[in-house]
C-alpha cells in the first residue's frame, strides 16, 4: 500500500481574460497549497476500483488515462478519505486526481517523467498540474502553465464556506463573467498581478495582489474587519479565505464566523 496527502489550494489572486480561440479563458492565478488535505491510499487490484467517495470521477479518470498512456490494464484500488469540502473552490478533486497519478505512476515498470505526466494532468483539468509540483505557483494561459514562486509561508488561513452556498458550475461562473464583459482590460490587470507578486517579501505584501475577477463575497469584508490582511474568494467559489498574521486573531475570527457556515483554520503547505 502507498498513501499520500492531497492538499487543498487557495487562489491568492485570480485574473481572467476573454475567451480564446480554443474556447478557454486566459487566466493568471497565484496558487498556494494548504495543510488541509484529503488522504489517498493506493493498492494493487484486479481492476480499477475507487472507494471512499461515491461522487469521484477525477481519480478514476486519472488512473484510466495513466493506464491507457502506459499501455497497461488499470489494476489499482484507490481509497479517498475526504476532508476538503466538495465543489468549494479549494481544488480537492484536482488534488485527488494529481495524487492518484503520482502514486500510480510510481508503480509502473517505466514511470513517466516531467512533461509527459504534466500533459496527462493538464488534460484532466487546469488545476491538476499544480498538484504535481511543490510550493506556490503562478499559473498562466488557462492556469496550467506554471512558474514557481518564492512567497512567504508564515501566516494562518481561515476558510469559510457560507451556509447554504451552492457552487454554481464553473462553466456557469465563466458564462456570467462573459456576460458582464469581465475580460475587458485583462492585459492591464495581468500586468498589475505580475508586478504585485514580484514585490511580495512579507505576508502583508500579499494584500497588494488584485482581487478575484470571477466572484466576490461580502464575507471578505467581514474577514478584513476581523483582522485579516487579505481576504477574497478562492477560485470560482464559494469558499472565502482570510489571511492572518497571528493565530490568536485567526481563532477569534473563526469563533465570530462559525454561525455563518463551515470553517477551517489551516496554514500554507509547501508539499503535498
82 and 23 within one domain? yes
Q: Check whether 76 has a pLDDT greater than 70.
A: yes
201 and 223 within one domain? yes
**Exposure pattern of 155-190 as b/e (b: 16+ CB <10 Å)?**
bbbbbbbbeebebbebeebbeebeeeebbeebeebb
Question: Three-state SS for 5?
Answer: strand
DSSP 167: P
Phi, psi of 138 (to 5 degrees): -95, 120
Q: Are strands 137-140 and 25-44 parallel, antiparallel or unpaired?
A: antiparallel
User: Final residue of a domain: which of 99, 121, 148?
Assistant: 148
Which are the catalytic amino acids? 9, 127
Distance CA 38, CA 80 (A): 7
Q: Check whether 166 has a pLDDT greater than 70.
A: no
Residue 40 domain boundaries = 2-148
User: Final residue of a domain: which of 119, 148, 177?
Assistant: 148
Res. 167 pLDDT band, cuts 50 70 90: low
Write down the pLDDT at residue 164.
81
Distance CA 192, CA 29 (A): 12
Amino acid at each position: 500500500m502507498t498513501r499520500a496527502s492531497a492538499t487543498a489550494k487557495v487562489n491568492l489572486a485570480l485574473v481572467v481574460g476573454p475567451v480564446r480561440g480554443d474556447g478557454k479563458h486566459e487566466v493568471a492565478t497565484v496558487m498556494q497549497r494548504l495543510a488541509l488535505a484529503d488522504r489517498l491510499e493506493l493498492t494493487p487490484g484486479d481492476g480499477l476500483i475507487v472507494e471512499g467517495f461515491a461522487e469521484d470521477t477525477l481519480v478514476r479518470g486519472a488512473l484510466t488515462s495513466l493506464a491507457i498512456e502506459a499501455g497497461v490494464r488499470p489494476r489499482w484500488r484507490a481509497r479517498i478519505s475526504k476532508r476538503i469540502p466538495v465543489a468549494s473552490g479549494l481544488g480537492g478533486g484536482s488534488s485527488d486526481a494529481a495524487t492518484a497519478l503520482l502514486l500510480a505512476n510510481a508503480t509502473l515498470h517505466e514511470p513517466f517523467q516531467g512533461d509527459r505526466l504534466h500533459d496527462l494532468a493538464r488534460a484532466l483539468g487546469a488545476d491538476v498540474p499544480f498538484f504535481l509540483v511543490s510550493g506556490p505557483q503562478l499559473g498562466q494561459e488557462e492556469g496550467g502553465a506554471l512558474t514557481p514562486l518564492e512567497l512567504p509561508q508564515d501566516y494562518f488561513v481561515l476558510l469559510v464556506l457560507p451556509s447554504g452556498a451552492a457552487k454554481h458550475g464553473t462553466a456557469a461562473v465563466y458564462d456570467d463573467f462573459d456576460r458582464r464583459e469581465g475580460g475587458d482590460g485583462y492585459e492591464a490587470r495581468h500586468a498589475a498581478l505580475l508586478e504585485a507578486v514580484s514585490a511580495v517579501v512579507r505576508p502583508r505584501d500579499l494584500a497588494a495582489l488584485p482581487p478575484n475577477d470571477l466572484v466576490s463575497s461580502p464575507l471578505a469584508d467581514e474577514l478584513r474587519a476581523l483582522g485579516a490582511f487579505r481576504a477574497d474568494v478562492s477560485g470560482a467559489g464559494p469558499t472565502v479565505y482570510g489571511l492572518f498574521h497571528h493565530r490568536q486573531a485567526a481563532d477569534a475570527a473563526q469563533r465570530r464566523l462559525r454561525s455563518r457556515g463551515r470553517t477551517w483554520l489551516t496554514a500554507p503547505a509547501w508539499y503535498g
